[in-house]
Chains A and B, each alone.
Chain A
Amino acid sequence: MEIRLSTSDGVPVYRQIVNQVKYLVASGRLRPGQELPTIRALAEKLVINPNTVVHAYAELENEGLVVRRHGSGTYVAEDPTRLSSRAGREALSAKVDSLLADAAHLNTSVEEIIRLVCERYANLKKKEQS
C-alpha cells in the first residue's frame, strides 16, 4: 500500500491516509478482502505517530471502507464499491466546484466548460491511441 504524505497542503495526516486509502480502493489497487498494513508497520514506514494510523483506520472503518477483525488485522471491506464510488464523486465534486469558481472569474460559461472538458477528453484519447 503506497501512501505519500505531504505537510504542505494543510490536510491533517490522518485525513491524508483516509483519502489515499479511499483512492486506492476506488482505483482497484486495493481489492476487497485485502489486508492493510498493521498500525505499527504503517507508522514505522511513514515515520508518523501510531495514534494517527489508529485514527485513520477508525475513520475508514466508520465509513464502511475497511473492517477490523479482532486480533487479526484490518481488511478492505468485501463490498466497498458503492461507498468508494460515492467517495470518488465527492472528491470530483470538489474539483468541479473549484473549476466552476475559476470559470466564473474568467467569465466563462458552463457550456463553454463542458465543451472544453469534451475537447480535452478527446485529446487524451487520441494520445492514448497513438
Chain B
Amino acid sequence: MNNTNLIEVDRLSRRFGSKLALDNVTMAVPGGIVLGLVGANGAGKTTLIRHLLGLLRAQSGTVRVFGLDPAAHPVRVLARLGYLSEDRDLPPWMSVRELLRYSRAFRPGWDAAYAEQLREQFQLAPDAMLRHLSKGELAKAGLIVALAHRPELLVLDEPSSGLDPIVRRELLEAVVRAVAEHGRTVLFSSHLLDEIARVSDHVAMMAHGRLVLHGPLAAVMERHRRVVVQANVPIARLAGLPGALFVSGGPGEWTLICNGTPEAFAPALRELGGQLLEEGGATFEEIFHARVGHATG
C-alpha cells in the first residue's frame, strides 16, 4: 500500500438483504488529516466505519487500515485505533474508575496519566456510576477510552449526536488538542455540517451508499460557487448548464450551486437569454445539499 495512507478502501460494496448499503466505495485517507464523513441517516457512514473496525467483512472490494485487513487482523488494527461509537455502549454497572481500569487491561500502550488528565479536564468523578451519567458525560468517558492508548487513528461515529452545544464544544476541543499534540489522524462522521466545516481538513460526502464527493475541504469550498442568474426559461434548461449541480428559486431569478466558476457556463447562459446577477462562495451546507440532492435525483 501507499505508506502515507492510513486507510485504503477499494471498490467496497455491501448488501444487507435487498438494500445496497455501500456501493463501490473507493477512498484513501492520508496520515495526519481530520476527515469529516457526512451524509444523511442511512447513507452508509456507519456501515463504512464498521468495515474499518473489522466488525464487517468486505463482501466485495478491499479494506485496509494500517495496510492490514481489519476483519482478518482485528487485534493488530484495534491496538492502534481509538473508537467512539454513536451509542457509546459502555457497561452501565461500572464506575468511571472501573471503566478506565478495565479498558486499560486490553489496550496496549494505555497511558494512565493521560487518562487521568482527561478525566479531570472533563470533570468526571471517579466514583460516578456510568448508568448515572448524562449523555454528555458518557460521551466524555467514551472519548477518554478512545484516546488514552494514544492511537494513531481516531474514529468517531457521530460524536456530537444528542449533545448540547457546550458539551459538543468540549469534545471537539479535546479532539483538536489531541490532533495538535500528536498529529493524529481522525475520521469522524457527523450530520452537523457546521461542525464538519470547522474541524475537518478533508471531507467525504455519502449518499445512498455511494461516495459522492471526497477531497480537501478548502479545495471543495473554493471550487463550488453560488450564482444568481436571471433567465426566463424552464428550470430544466438551467439545470443543464455546464457545472450546475442544483437550481432553486425562479421563475425569472434563480440560484445555482455550481461546480466551477460561472465563466464555464456564461456562453450557454447567454444563449438562453439569461444574465448573471451575483456570484459568491457556496457554504458547505449548500454544497452538501446540492451534491446529495443531485445524487438522489
Asked, given contacts A39-B180, A52-B201, whether A11 binds B32 with beta carbons under 8 Å apart, the answer is no
Is the pair A13, B198 in contact by a Cβ cutoff of 8 Å? yes
Distance to closest chain A CB from B257 (angstroms) = 10
Q: Give chain B interface residues in 161-207, CB to chain A under 8 Å.
A: 169, 172-173, 176-177, 179-181, 193-194, 197-201
CB distance from B107 to the nearest CB of A (A): 25
Whether the pair A48, B198 counts as a contact (CB closer than 8 A) is yes
CB pair A10 B197 closer than 8 Å = no
- Of the candidates A9, A51, A55, the one having the most CB atoms from chain B within 10 angstroms of its own CB is A51
Closest to B284 in A: A7
Question: Which residues on B sit within 8 Å (CB–CB) of A43?
Answer: 176, 179-180
Partner of B283, one of A5, A7, A15, A55: A7
Tell me the complex Cα distance, A75–B115, Å: 35
Question: A40 at the A/B interface (Cβ < 8 Å)?
Answer: yes
Q: How many A-B residue pairs have CB under 8 A?
A: 75
Partner of A49 from the list B34, B282, B283 (CB cut-off 8 Å) is: B34
Contact of A51 among B32, B221, B278 (CB under 8 A): B32
Nearest CB of chain B from residue A7's CB, rounded to whole Å? 4
The tally of residues in B whose CB lies under 8 Å from a CB in A reads: 32
Establish whether residues B284 and A47, one from each chain, have CB atoms under 8 Å apart when the complex forms.
no
CB pair A12 B179 closer than 8 Å: no
Q: Once the chains bind, are A40 and B221 in contact (CB under 8 Å)?
A: no
Does more than half of chain A's interface fall in helix, strand or loop, or is it mixed?
Answer: helix
Query: B residues within 8 A CB of A88?
Result: none
Interface centre among A13, A15, A39 (most CB of B within 10 A): A13
In the complex, A50 has a CB within 8 A of chain B:
yes
Q: How far is the CB of A1 from chain B (nearest CB, A)?
A: 17
Q: Is the interface of B mostly helix, strand, loop or mixed?
A: helix
A10 B283 Cβ-Cβ under 8 A: yes
Cβ contact within 8 Å between A11 and B201: no
Of A11, A44, A48, the contact of B281 (CB 8 Å cutoff): A11
CB nearest neighbor in B for A11:
B281
B198 and A10 within 8 A (CB): no
Chain B residues near A49 (CB-CB < 8 A): 34, 176, 179, 198-201
Contact indicator A44/B286 (Cβ below 8 Å): no
A47 B218 Cβ-Cβ under 8 A: no
Closest to A98 in B: B278
Closest to A10 in B: B281
The answer for the CA separation of A51 and B184 in the assembled complex, in Å, is: 11
| CB proximity of A113 to chain B, nearest CB, Å | 18
Query: Contacts of B179 on A, CB cut-off 8 Å?
Result: 43, 49-50
A52 nearest CB neighbor, chain B only = B201
Closest-by-CB residue of A relative to B179 is A50
Q: A5 touching B198 by the CB < 8 A rule?
A: yes
B176, A14: Cβ atoms closer than 8 Å: no
Contact A8 B283, beta carbon cutoff 8 Å: yes
CA distance A49 to B283 in the complex (A): 18
The distance in angstroms between the C-alpha atoms of A39 and B173, with both chains bound, is 14
Closest to A39 in B: B180
In Å, the complex CA distance between A43 and B174 comes to 11
B217 contacts A by Cβ under 8 Å: yes
Q: How far is the CB of B172 from chain A (nearest CB, A)?
A: 5
The closest CB in chain B to the CB of A8 belongs to B283
Cα distance, A49 to B200, chains bound together (Å): 6
Interfacial chain A residues near B221, Cβ < 8 Å: 10-12
Cβ contacts A to B, 17 pairs, < 8 Å: A7-B193, A9-B281, A10-B226, A10-B280, A10-B283, A15-B218, A39-B180, A43-B176, A47-B176, A48-B199, A49-B198, A49-B201, A50-B176, A51-B201, A52-B218, A55-B201, A101-B277
* 9 additional A-B residue pairs with CB within 8 Å, beyond A11-B221, A11-B281, A105-B277: A7-B194, A7-B197, A8-B285, A12-B218, A12-B222, A12-B281, A40-B180, A49-B34, A50-B179
Shortest 4 CB-CB distances between A and B: which pairs? A10-B281, A12-B221, A12-B218, A40-B180
